[in-house]
Structure 1
Amino acid sequence: MDIQAQLELHKQWLETDGKDGKRFDEPHLSRAILNGANLSGAYLVKANLNETKLIGANLSKAHLSGAYFKEANLSDARLMGVNLVGANLSGTKLVRAILAESNLEGADLFEANLEGANLSEANLVGTNLGGANLCSANLIDTNFLGAKLNNANLTGADLTGAYLTKANLTGADLTGANLNDTNLVEANLRGAKLVNTSLKGAILCNTTMPDGSIDNSGCR
């Protein structure tokens, strides 16, 4: 049975509470090689894609909430507008992946590789990006409310207009990053590297700076 047929059966299974179709889970996609596959609009809620190769695949507008992508390779994949709420992407390779306008609220991206990825206008509220590689990533207008970015590599990243209220940026490397017009209210930057970092227009209020001091210059 080809992959499109399996996906349709999984969708039926979910819509009928298991009375029809067939669940699409571990036996089918874990460690599968799906490089370049067109899975746009696919319904893979809670599916197991651990260690799956999806290099250059099209997953735009797919339903992937609660899915497992641990150590999968999604480099150069298109995931624009994707629902990844609560998904597990720890250790996943997402180099140059397009995740613009996607919903990753509460997702686990611990130590994921997002170098050069596009996450502009994405929802990353409460997302775990601890130790993640976001070097040169496009994070314009991204929502990081309460996100964990501790020890993340954000060198050269563009965070213009990003919402970083209550974000944990302890130990993060922001060398050469653009944080112009960001909202850093109650953000924690203790131990972070801000070498050649631009903070023009950034809002600092009850913000913990790298040296542990509190900056209230932007409080109203």
Structure 2
Amino acid sequence: MHLLELHKIWLDSLGLEGKKLVLDEVKLTQVDLMNYSLNQAHITDCLFNNMHLIDIEMYSSTICSSSFVCANLENADFYKTDVSYANFTNANLRNTRFAKSDCIKTTFNHANLSDAKLVAALFDHADFRHANLQNADVSESTFENVLLKGANLTGIQGLEEAFIKSINIGTPERPNILIGGEARQWLDARSN
């Protein structure tokens, strides 16, 4: 709690006082984070599983390799955040903003990303298997080797502006890779 208070002071003073939050391998599941901003924090390999984090702000942060399994992150803000290797399996990410975020090998398996803002994000080897991407905006995002088997893509927006390099409609063990135009056609067919 003391570190969270110091981070709040650091944010409020624009870095002149307090101390930036840096956490590694910390289990945060018993900490009430709702009154704290985690903007610009450096949080790696930490546990947020099953936490209630509606409206949490984590923009411009690094939260690599952290776990948010079954967490409720509705309306959360991950703008310009590095969430590479993070695990959002079964998380509620409805209406969450991942704009301009790095999502390298990020797991969104069975996550609810309906109405999410995924604009100008990098999805490289991200796992969206069985995720709900209904009405999500992917404008200007890059998709490379993205797993999409079983994903709900109904109403997905911004596909025409996205950079679709390759997608995997199979599994990691049995990949079925679609590249470029073929990948875009597959996505377009499932967005209607």
* TM-score of the pair, normalised by structure 2: 0.79
Asked if 1:186 is matched to 2:166, the reply is yes
Deviation of residue 56 (structure 1)? Answer: 5.4
Counterparts of residues 82-161 of structure 1 (less than 5 Å): 82-161=61-140
2:51 corresponds to: 72
The amino acid across from 1:181 in the alignment is: E
- Distance in 2, matches of 1:135 and 1:59, equals 23
Shift of 1:74: 1.4
**1 or 2 for the larger relative contact order (CA 8 Å, sep ≥6)?**
2
Q: What is the Cα deviation at residue 181 of structure 1?
A: 1.7
TM-superposed deviation, 1:93? 1.2
Larger-gyration structure (1/2) = 1
Alignment check: 8 A CA contact 1:137 1:158 kept = yes
Structure with more of its chain in helix, by fraction: 2
- Verify: 1:43 aligned to 2:19, yes or no: no
> Contact conserved, 1:121 with 1:140, CA < 8 A, in 2?
yes
Percent of paired sites with the same residue: 22
1:180 CA displacement:
2.6
Show the counterpart of 1:215.
none
Q: Deviations over 1:98-156 (max 9, x none)?
A: 10000111111111111001110011111011101101001001111110001100111
Looking at structure 1, the residues matched to 72 and 9 of structure 2 have their Cα atoms a distance apart, in angstroms, of 18
Are 1:4 and 2:2 an aligned pair?
A: yes
- Secondary structure at 1:207's aligned position in 2? helix
Aligned length: 170
Distance 2:43 2:106 in 1: 15
Distance (whole Å) between structure 2 residues aligned to residue 151 and residue 51 of structure 1: 29
Aligned to 1:63: 42
Q: Contact conserved, 1:132 with 1:153, CA < 8 A, in 2?
A: yes
Structure 2 gaps of 5+ residues are 12-19, 171-178, 188-192
Paired residue type of 2:111: A
Distance 1:71 1:207, change over 3 A: same
**RMSD of aligned residue pairs (Cα, Å):** 2.6
Correspondence 1:190-205 to 2 at 5 A: 204-205=180-181
Aligned mate of 2:145, from 142, 163, 166? 166
CA distance, structure 2, for counterparts of residue 124 and residue 96 of structure 1: 18
Normalised TM-score (structure 1): 0.69
Shift of 1:92: 1.2
- Distance of aligned partners of 1:93 and 1:166 in 2 relative to their CA distance in 1, 3 Å threshold: same
Q: Partners in 1 of 2:147 and 2:162 — Cα distance?
A: 14
Q: Write out per-residue CA displacement over residues 135-185 of structure 1, whole angstroms, 9 at most, x where no aligned residue.
A: 100100111111000110011110001111110011111111112321222
